[in-house]
Amino acid sequence: MKQQPRFGAVETMKDRYRISSRLLATRQKRIKKMTTILQSKDYSGKAVLYMAMELSNAKWKLGFSNGSRDRSVTIVAGDWKASSHQIGLAKEKLHLPEDCPVICCYEAGRDGFWIHRMLEELGITNLIFDSSSIEVNRRKRRTKTDKVDVKALLRLLQRYLNGERKAVSVVQVPTLDEEDQRRFNRERERLIKEHSAHIARIKSLLVQHGVRKPIDRNFPEWLEATPRDGLGNELGPNLKTELVREYERLQLVKRQIKELHQEQKRRIKEEETKAMKQIITLMQ
């Protein structure tokens, strides 16, 4: 006689993933609701200091506006004392109350989210604009590294806050833990690319001399056995040394990929255990 599963148990792997998906969907709805709270605010007709940041390695260009007049200044990158001073000065120059809210924006890039978090600590509401969603004049071709100037960002910010939600896409800022979790997959993807690059480099060096050899575990022994090029000449000592170093780098990348794979398996097992405990608790 087939034994019935006890109450609170999950019958199949399919059930486990279905319930986990529901929990994830619930969490995403909460995040979306929190984002909607900000997006639903209407700043039109209120005293607001609009602020935009054009970021670079050495300098930050800050743009300010009260909706009718603009002001822009340049400061040293990362100088938060100067930033706070310029915000206060902008309120004074643009005839805004000292306690008026500051709404800031900057274009998503390699600076990540730390600037966003610092602005929030200073009591400034900030939006990060997705670069790919920003409108660009088709007559002025924009290269991948070009940045939108601070005045354009200011106009875009005001349009968005005044109700044009489709004017630009706002990046969802992850938590510190979520951002850290992304590092694992990104490192693995980068190592896989490096792995392919090392193999391609070794094969390219060999093909240049008319040699086609699989890059396997016997490659070092093959190099020591006096290999010859397509004309029958012995490979040069500098070429052999370069091949050895390239192969060593390849082995290092392979070892790191294996370590990441083992860590990934451990984390999956750990997360499944946590998920199962949560599911059982919810079902009891």
The per-residue pLDDT string of the chain (284 residues; one tens digit each, 9 = 90 and over) reads: 444 444 344 444 555 555 555 555 655 555 455 445 444 455 555 789 999 999 999 999 999 999 889 999 999 999 999 999 999 999 999 999 999 999 999 999 888 899 999 999 999 999 999 988 887 654 454 444 445 689 999 999 999 998 888 889 999 999 888 888 888 889 999 999 999 999 999 999 999 999 999 999 999 999 988 889 889 999 999 999 999 999 999 999 999 999 999 988 888 888 777 766 777 776 66
Query: Given the DSSP bridges, would you call strands 102-107 and 125-129 parallel, antiparallel or unpaired?
Result: parallel
Query: What's 78's DSSP letter?
Result: T
Q: How far is CA 113 from its chain centroid?
A: 9
Residue 171, number of CB atoms within 10 A of its CB? 15
Q: Which of 2, 49, 4, 31 is closest to 157 using CA atoms?
A: 49
Residue 259: its H or E element: helix 237-283
pLDDT at res. 39:
45
Sheet-wide strand order for 59-65:
70-76, 59-65, 49-55, 102-107, 125-129
Q: How far apart are CA 120 and CA 38, in angstroms?
A: 13
pLDDT at res. 191:
95
CATH number 3.30.420 is the correct assignment for the domain at 49-173: yes
pLDDT at res. 184:
86
Say if residue 126 is exposed, middle or buried (CB neighbours under 10 Å; 0-12, 13-18, 19+).
buried
Residue 62 and residue 75 in contact, taking contact as beta carbons nearer than 8 Å:
yes
HSE-CB of 120 using CA atoms within 13 angstroms: 9
Domain ranges of the chain: 49-173, 177-266
